[in-house]
Chains A and B, each alone.
Chain A
């Protein structure tokens, strides 16, 4: 039937119509860009780093030989690796806990009706849509050792002692706190939007039924809203964990891992070792430590999300 229709068109339209109706030709054609993208930009670098991690390749040399798990042994033996691993976990877990709390509060307030709601929504989304490098430079000034707006405000309000001038990015604990704050600021908008979508998908009837059934705000929130929101919350947390775990921008722009590697995370440490240090094999080994952890996290969360699926 399709060819009969196609034949009635002019020759030029004919081949187009035939192509548009030919599913055997069409699906590989449509999928090709996606497959190409995955193979070239995800698959190739991934297998290259697998390959590098068991070799002795460096930036400067042309020769390369198989060394087995030597790189992993070497990386694990350094103190910096363990600091970076510990920091990555702290960085991820602490920031995600706060993201969850803030995103829930924001999503709930934004799902209510009030004047100027669109403006607040826009402002909340801003950190997510603005380029992170711009944001990070802003934060760099906020945390500046001399011009820090936090310190000056603290002084003016007498929250800080007369000679108290914290160096936000220069003291190990404060530096960690600082980058965690920036990461929270960065991830909260996405989590808020995801949770907001989840909230709007709960039918109003369910909230009304709970209200008539005698539930107050807390019972409604804890026994109805949160459980119904759980699957979508897990998705938000999964995104947050992966974005935070693999992220190096905030640390790289704010502290470069300093002071003395005290804020180093696995992603920055892999970069400094492999690219700036020239030890490609070592860098590949460090970065591969991320992989099994992320796979495990993804599997656990997707399983949980499926089990708690509702309606």
Chain B
């Protein structure tokens, strides 16, 4: 816990990629804050700089200008207090599910024995207990992504970064995974930043939705989602939900919603 209660503070963040003709401004003057235990969704068109923001917060990418603080400390490089879930599961095919989940523990040099029960508990939470000794290729896409979520949580990071984690899944699995993620989040209470293309998904999961527009990447709006928790699949049909989706869609510039 930080004194300010702010998990992420981003101020005037700018990222310019050098290029032969004209430098590409991926991100211009982005400023926002994420409170501890808050769930934030970041939506916007492809190539508007969503992943750039995430990578800078994760310390995987250098910024051009501005300031980024995670848990009150300036980000200068990767930090083990971050858990990342990518669009693809990125499981190591030569490791069993349980060994994949324990990968962060190994790399961080923590005691495997100590974390083994924790890994089991996470597999229980994601419904993968009976698959713990299987290899990734024996799992379905949804199961693989659940394993990668378990892996992102095993070293107890304070911040969970999700980069379009369900983008590669079919619509039905995606809906289920939304419920699953909400359950995990409400149990673990990790500050979460979800990048997604899907406005309904963004709304369904988030406390607040940040909207980005491309070229240059800018955060144009932050919308509070007042829907009660826990959110249920039925809520997706409610007028309040539709209203939130429409509000987010409008700021992106979608007319048909």
B and A form one assembly: no
| B residues adjacent to A (C-beta < 8 A) | none
